[in-house]
Amino acid sequence: MSSESSGSSSAPPGAGPGPGASGTADGGSGVGGTAVELRGITKRFPGVVANRDIDIAVGRGTVHALVGENGAGKSTLMKILYGMQRPDEGVIRIDGKAVTLHSPADAIARGIGMVHQHFMLADNLTVLENTVLGAEKLHGIGSRARKKIKELSDAYQLGIRPDALVEELGVADRQRVEILKALYRGARTLILDEPTAVLVPQEVEALFANLRELKSEGLTVLFISHKLGEVLSVADAITVIRRGTTVASVAPEETTPKQLAELMVGSELPSAETRESTVTDIPMLRVEGLRLSATGSDGVARTVLDDISFTIHKGEVLGVAGVEGNGQAELVEAIMGMSDPDGGTLTLDGQDISHAPTRVRRESGIGYIPEDRHRHGLLLEAPLWENRILGHVTEKPNTKGPALGIPGAPQLLALGEARADAGRIVAEYDVRTPGIEVTAASLSGGNQQKFIVGREMSHHPKLLIAAHPTRGVDVGAQAQIWDQIRTARREGLAVLLISADLDELIGLSDTLRVMYRGRLVADADPAHVTPQELGSAMTGAATGHLDHQEDGTASGGDDGPRHQDDGTGGDK
Ligand SMILES: Nc1ncnc2c1ncn2[C@@H]1O[C@H](COP(=O)(O)OP(=O)(O)OP(=O)(O)O)[C@@H](O)[C@H]1O
């Protein structure tokens, strides 16, 4: 049943803020009128009310942020507005008119566009082809489409060339192509799902400039973000969602990141832990001369890992900064045994694992938080308790045996123990789920991530390969995951941390390296480096040791790129 088109709502159009709201920033009061109204929206899933009586009005020509804890219901609400989910109750009004949205095509027809967190572009096609794909027949594309793309790109200063091949574009450009694609389809309201999660600070600034440009042309932007500082810098209005319902509408100039976080969780956040060094001189992972090449779709072989060497010691977090696509993902895959490097050696705790299969590497004590949790971290359609076993099928508590007490006999899966332990992870890591029987797919993104972190930490790894460990995770859960990593590090855990979140890299790492075009080109002291300095090295503008300058800029050392390690790693 759906009552979107009935027009029945507890609140009149353009009415004040929802329950508990401060009333200062309900977007409906914006000078340009109301672009989108969501009134009394309720959406139930088995065992969960994802949205409960949500009330939001978004002013036309404004940037409106949605914040809230993992599982609060933000994505569900945006999927409802984009026609991907049907609400059980409530009214959607676009430009004052009640509408029923059966599909994204319906939403697009009404001027709603969405840029998902995982871009949906075909790599081997051009910007032009990607933009018109699905919007019109490919054979119909030509000068008219090219002209329109150029006009849109110029009007909103997106700097996109219609004939550029998508696979040659960096993350920030791909995001602009997604925005362009939505504009091409006539979007007047753009939904962006965590748009800054993969961007370096300079790119975030550029995106925000684009958003301001869109706004000045009367477009409306709705975006979800966990980065509260950024939210405060770009949003005109902020809606806080807690446990499925709108709890506050806040004006950015009247709040701080801390207050916002507390509105999200409904209580005070713990204060950050002070840092102390736990780095030892005992090597845990030694990577020497790692090289990998890959053949692109043009048939040309390219070097993706170029003579990579470093050591991570017991109790040390080595952070690798880099713009996505500079070899970090390939480095992780090579360490996990998921690719076949051209050369180099890997030594884990004194044992040569260069040619060991992934399972053996895991059993030797490597925990793995993958970048792509859907492809490598979870079986989405399997229940959560089965996901407890994934990647740890030969380890306790998932196994018992040997069978029948016969030495040498195969081990058996210990299903009861695995279930019980899945329940423990859910409780300990605050994974918001109706239970362990639901599929992993039904959890919100941040809760899926918390489950993976819990699973990997439960095996007390010697080495944790953590790729974006808190991506999509709310501030409270992020602090908790950082604490867990710090605690394990005090007990000797070595960590390879890959992250696009520079605050996370700086805050957690003992040693920092910068990866650029497959090489480790710079290093920095996390106690002194700034996100801006790291950002410049990530774009290739600074190399060597990033000496902190008083004026806040970084200067590379004069000894050129220092991608070679002297074997001592980054110990301080
Ligand atoms: N398809 C689904 N089936 C069952 N439950 C679902 C489904 N989609 C979402 N949920 C549940 O609805 C609730 C809200 O999820 P939603 O993804 O909207 O949260 P979110 O605020 O976007 O979280 P995050 O910040 O982690 O992305 C969660 O409890 C989630 O488990």
pLDDT at 323 over 90: no
490, with CB counted inside 10 A (0-12, 13-18, 19+), is exposed
pLDDT of residue 401: 66
Reported as a single tens digit per residue, the pLDDT across 344-375 is 999 999 999 999 999 899 989 999 999 877 88
DSSP for 469-490, please give it: TTTT--HHHHHHHHHHHHHHHH
Mutate to test the pocket of ligand 1, among 240, 381, 442 (most ligand atoms within 8 A of CB): 442
Domain range enclosing 9: 1-111+188-198+209-251
Residue 444 alpha carbon to ligand 1 centre in Å: 4
Beta carbon of 476 within 6 Å of any ligand 1 atom: no
Residue 26 has pLDDT above 60, yes or no: no
* pLDDT, tens digit, 9 for 90 and up, residues 91-114: 999 999 999 999 999 999 999 999
User: Which atom belonging to ligand 1 lies closest to the Cα atom of 46?
Assistant: 4
Residue 450, Cα to own-chain centre: how many angstroms? Answer: 13
Q: Report which protein residue has its CA nearest ligand 1's atom 27.
A: 445
Ligand 1 pocket, residue 72 CB under 6 Å: yes
Distance 476 CA to ligand 1 centre (A): 17
Residue 232 lies in a domain: yes
pLDDT score for 548: 58
Taking CA atoms only, the protein residue closest to ligand 1 atom 18 is 73
Distance 49 CA to ligand 1 centre (A): 9
Instruction: Return mean pLDDT, the chain.
Output: 83
Ranges 183-197, 212-226, 285-299, 353-367: which has the least confidence: 285-299
> Which ligand 1 atom lies nearest to the CA of residue 446?
26
* Cis upstream peptide for 531 (omega within 30°): no
**Is residue 410 over pLDDT 70?**
no
- Ligand 1 site, residue 76, Cβ cutoff 6 A: yes
Per cent of the chain over pLDDT 70 is 84
pLDDT at 510 over 70: yes
Burial class (CB in 10 A: 0-12, 13-18, 19+), 189: buried
Domain assignment present for residue 203? The answer is no
Residue 413 pLDDT: 75
Does residue 71 have its Cβ closer than 6 Å to ligand 1?
Answer: yes
Per-residue pLDDT tens over the stretch 532-545: 888 888 888 777 88
* pLDDT at residue 17 in the model: 32
Distance (Å) of CA 84 to CA 79, 112, 214, 225: 5, 12, 24, 20
Give residue 16's pLDDT.
Answer: 32
Same domain? 237 vs 286? no
For residue 51, which atom of ligand 1 is closest to its CA? Answer: 14
Copy the structure tokens of residue 122: 């075909």
On whether both 182 and 192 belong to a single domain, the answer is no
| CATH number for 78 | 3.40.50.300
The reply to whether 445 and 541 lie within a common domain is no
pLDDT at 452: 94
Pocket of ligand 1 contains residue 442 by CB under 6 Å: yes
Where helices occur in 21-142 by DSSP H, the ranges are 74-81, 104-109, 127-132
Closest C-alpha to 460, from 492, 505, 508, 420:
492
- Specify the pLDDT at position 555: 46
Mutate which of 444, 448, 474, 478 for ligand 1? The one with the most ligand atoms within 8 Å of its CB, which is 444
Find out whether the beta carbon of 116 lies less than 6 Å from any atom of ligand 1: no
> Do residues 244 and 100 share a domain?
yes
Its sign, for the CA torsion 168, 170, 173, 175, is positive
| CA–CA distance, 176 with 213 (Å, rounded to integer) | 13
Protein residue with least CA distance to atom 3, ligand 1: 442
Same domain, 58 and 89: yes
- State which of 84, 223, 443 you would mutate to test the pocket of ligand 1, scoring each by most atoms of that ligand within 8 A of its C-beta: 443
384 Cβ inside 6 Å of ligand 1: no
pLDDT higher than 50, residue 186: yes
Q: Give the Å distance between the CA of 2 and the centre of ligand 1.
A: 20
CA separation (Å) from 564 to 64, 86, 234, 337? 46, 55, 40, 22
On whether both 391 and 348 belong to a single domain, the answer is no
Ligand 1 atom at minimal distance to the Cα of residue 449: 26
Contact status, residue 53 vs residue 21, Cβ threshold 8 Å: no
Q: Are 60 and 33 in contact (CB under 8 A)?
A: yes
Cα(258) to ligand 1 centroid in Å equals 24
State in Å: Cα 100 to ligand 1 middle: 22
Q: Judge whether 370 lies within some domain.
A: no
- The residue nearest atom 4 of ligand 1, judged by CA position, is 442
Q: Which of 15, 36, 10 shows the shortest CA–CA distance to 98?
A: 36
Q: Which of 459, 485, 505 is the last residue of a domain?
A: 459
Does the interface predicted TM-score (ipTM) exceed 0.95?
A: yes
pLDDT tens profile 373-403: 788 888 899 999 888 888 787 777 877 766 5
Backbone angles phi, psi at 505, to 5 degrees: -60, -45
Task: Tell me what pLDDT residue 108 has.
Answer: 94
Asked whether residue 412 falls in the same domain as residue 477, the answer is: no
Confidence band for 564, pLDDT divided at 50, 70 and 90: very low
More confident position, 141 or 221: 221
pLDDT tens digit sequence for 150-167: 888 888 888 888 888 888
The domain boundary, picked from 405, 437, 459, lies at 459
Which one, of 530, 571, 519, lies nearest residue 554 by Cα? 530
Q: Look at the chain and report how many structural domains it folds into.
A: 4
Q: Which of ligand 1's atoms lies nearest the C-alpha of 73? A: 18
Same-domain check for residues 419 and 292: no
Could you say which of 439, 459, 479 is where a domain stops? 459
Please check whether residue 484 lies inside any domain of the structure: yes
pLDDT digits (tens, 9 = 90+) for 416-445: 888 999 999 999 998 999 999 999 999 988
CA dihedral 452→456→457→463, nearest 10 degrees, is: -130
- Is 127 in the same domain as 85? no
The yes-or-no verdict on residue 206 having pLDDT over 90 is no
Let me know if 26 is exposed, middle or buried by CB neighbors in 10 A (0-12, 13-18, 19+): buried
* pLDDT score recorded for residue 68: 92
8 belongs to a structural domain: yes
Indicate if 356 and 483 belong to the same structural domain. yes
Answer whether residue 289 shows pLDDT above 60.
yes
Q: Does residue 259 lie in a domain region?
A: no
User: Within 10 A of 12 (CB to CB), how many other CB atoms are there?
Assistant: 9
The residue whose CA is least distant from atom 25 of ligand 1 is: 70
pLDDT at residue 404, as a whole number: 57
Closest-CA residue to 95 (of 218, 269, 234, 275): 218
Tokens of 386: 């089965």
Q: Is residue 47 a contact partner of residue 41, using CB atoms and an 8 Å limit?
A: no
- What pLDDT shows up at residue 561? 30
Residue 322 shares a structural domain with residue 407: no
pTM (predicted TM-score): 0.77
Which residue blocks in 404-490 are alpha helix, DSSP H? Answer: 415-428, 445-458, 475-490
Ligand 1 atom closest to the Cα of residue 69 is 25
